[in-house]
């Protein structure tokens, strides 16, 4: 049976929340709001910071567990070296400390029978969705360019994987989302659209329009066509390669969910480089302090989870 989590409420009282309820949070948020803003978190602490962040009447609606950042955090290349179970366990630690849904990067999903097991595992642990990409062969990150670096999976085989994953679910809440890699590999648009139709027919709960080009019009144009053909299917954008494109423009193109897929981890690496260099250059830590969270706030980071600390803490973070 799914283990209950605890939902914090004002005043310190708690009520149990089942993992199956947690697994439906993203679907509910999309239904209620029509648009969700998701950010990568590479640790439970990063999720706590992201969950508390506010700005210009915006907040993050959930979290992304990236195979790229999970691998890089361990000093490994993004080639599916990590055991899916270890990645799910890491994501579970984040889910246990936050109230918002988490989407996990499932790479290619592996073999069908393995994907069915993974879906059941994710759902039991309270994750809300998995995104799998329609590529095959040796896993290479889609942002890498190069001839023959990326190979598309067969349409029927990938559609079957989606169907197997959906059949493995214990409830309707969890989402299996298909990532269209056709813009990455240079497929003709009609072929990408045909693949999308096959995946939706197989039960895909959403489609990622993915691109490594800095020209956002490739994503926007494809998203508009997909919106016409699949009016009820959530569309996802990951604007790593085109960061200047605003959410409003993506929403007008039919996008329902935006994933900021690696910015938190990249920022942490840059900060660590700066601090390490500053200590070496100065032979002391004083000059590095402006780049560091105050020790007092670090000590109190995890106290009073899910409760606002007010504007003073928000400014520090």
Same domain, yes or no, for 253 and 275? no
Considering the domain architecture, whether residues 194 and 228 belong to the same structural domain is answered as yes
CA distances from 280 to 186, 212, 268, 274, 283 (A): 46, 36, 18, 10, 5
Q: Is the dihedral of CA 297, 300, 301, 305 positive or negative?
A: negative
Count of domains in the chain?
2
User: pLDDT value at position 144?
Assistant: 53
Same domain, 197 and 281: no
pLDDT of residue 143: 60
Residues 122 and 214 in one domain: yes
Asked if 190 and 212 sit in the same domain, the reply is yes
Q: Is 258 found in the same domain as 176?
A: yes
**189 and 292 belong to one structural domain:** no
- 18 burial class (0-12, 13-18, 19+ CB within 10 angstroms)? middle
Ranges under pLDDT 50 in the chain: 1-15, 305-317
Residue 305: domain span: 271-316
What's the CA gap between 196 and 202, in Å, rounded? 10
133 and 243 within one domain: yes
Give the pLDDT confidence score for residue 56 in this predicted structure.
86
Q: Is there a single domain that holds both residue 122 and residue 251?
A: yes
String of DSSP letters for 132-183: EESEESS---TT---TT--EEPPHHHHHHHHHHHHHT-SSS--EEEEEE-HH
Same domain, 162 and 278: no
Give the model's pLDDT for residue 60. 96
Catalytic site includes residue 61:
no
Say yes or no: 204 and 277 in one domain. no
Can you tell me whether residue 171 is helix, strand or coil? coil
Q: What CATH number should be reported for the domain holding residue 71?
A: 3.20.20.60
pLDDT, position 299:
85
Q: Which of 70, 78, 107, 205 is catalytic?
A: 78
Judge if 243 and 301 occupy the same domain.
no
């Amino acid at each position: 049976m799914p283990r209950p989590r605890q939902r914090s409420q004002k005043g310190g009282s708690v009520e149990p929340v089942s993992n199956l309820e947690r697994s439906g949070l993203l679907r509910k948020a999309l239904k209620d709001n029509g648009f969700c803003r998701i950010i990568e978190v590479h640790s439970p602490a990063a999720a706590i910071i992201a969950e508390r962040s506010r700005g210009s009447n915006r907040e993050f609606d959930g979290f992304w567990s990236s195979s790229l950042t999970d691998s890089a955090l361990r000093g490994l290349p993004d080639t599916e070296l990590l055991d899916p179970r270890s990645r799910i366990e890491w994501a579970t630690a984040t889910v246990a400390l936050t109230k918002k849904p988490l989407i996990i990067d499932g790479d290619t999903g592996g073999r069908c029978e393995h994907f069915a097991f993974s879906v059941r595992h994710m759902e039991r642990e309270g994750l809300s969705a998995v995104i799998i990409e329609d590529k095959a062969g040796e896993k290479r990150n889609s942002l890498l360019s190069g001839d023959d670096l990326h190979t598309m999976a067969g349409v029927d085989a990938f559609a079957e994987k989606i169907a197997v994953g959906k059949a493995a679910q214990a409830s309707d809440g969890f989402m299996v989302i298909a990532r269209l890699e056709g813009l990455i590999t240079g497929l003709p648009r009609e072929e990408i659209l045909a693949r999308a139709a096959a995946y939706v027919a197989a039960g895909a709960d959403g489609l990622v329009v993915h691109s490594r080009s800095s020209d956002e019009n490739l994503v926007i144009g494809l998203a508009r066509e997909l919106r016409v053909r699949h009016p009820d299917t959530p569309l996802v954008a990951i604007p790593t390669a085109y960061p200047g494109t605003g959410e409003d423009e993506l929403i007008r193109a039919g996008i329902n969910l935006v994933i900021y897929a690696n910015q938190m981890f990249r920022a942490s690496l840059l900060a660590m480089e700066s601090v390490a260099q500053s200590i070496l250059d100065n032979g002391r830590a004083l000059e590095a302090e402006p780049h560091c969270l105050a020790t007092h706030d670090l000590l109190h980071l995890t106290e009073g989870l899910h409760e606002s600390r007010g504007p003073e803490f928000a400014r520090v973070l």
